[in-house]
Amino acid sequence: MAWWLTFHLLGMVLWTGGLLGISRMAAYHVAEAPEIQPRFAWVEGRMYWLVVIPGMVITLITAAGLLSTGVLPYGDLGWFHGKMMLVGLLLILHATLHIKLGQLKTHPERQKKAFFSALHGTIGLTLIGLLIMVMVRPG
């Protein structure tokens, strides 16, 4: 179980760290000169496909592995339901970022820096909530 948990945490760091990095970079991307924007799109795409997607896959596979062990020695699992709700929110935020990155690549002039900044903050708050659910286990 320790290996499952180790790789679960590694995947989560890659996934959320990548989402945070890309959402912040996208906010800068919007404000850059048009001739520089394709380079931002290239870097965002590389981070997305080489960091975020593998991190998400590792996280979800190891989560299934942890659940399949049948060992949840944490007593009351109210915290676990809260964690799952936040994971669902993180998946929605991930999908939103994916869609907006496509729009940013094709029509950067239509995108707003404030949207990407708000998305960045929401991803960060979701990560904080996940950490609280796992470490403090409220409820």
28-64 pLDDT, tens digit per residue, is 999 999 999 999 999 999 999 999 999 999 999 999 9
Domain count, the chain: 1
The C-alpha angle 136, 130, 117, rounded to 5 degrees, equals: 135
pTM confidence score: 0.93
pLDDT at 72: 65
36-46 pLDDT, tens digit per residue, is 999 999 999 99
Q: How far apart are CA 68 and CA 88, in angstroms?
A: 19
> Rounded mean pLDDT of the chain?
93
77: CB partners within 8 A, 6+ apart: none
Determine the structural domain holding residue 52 and report its residue range.
2-135
Instruction: From 25, 7, 15, select the one nearest 86 (Cα to Cα).
Output: 15
Whether the per-residue pLDDT at 78 is higher than 90: the answer is: no
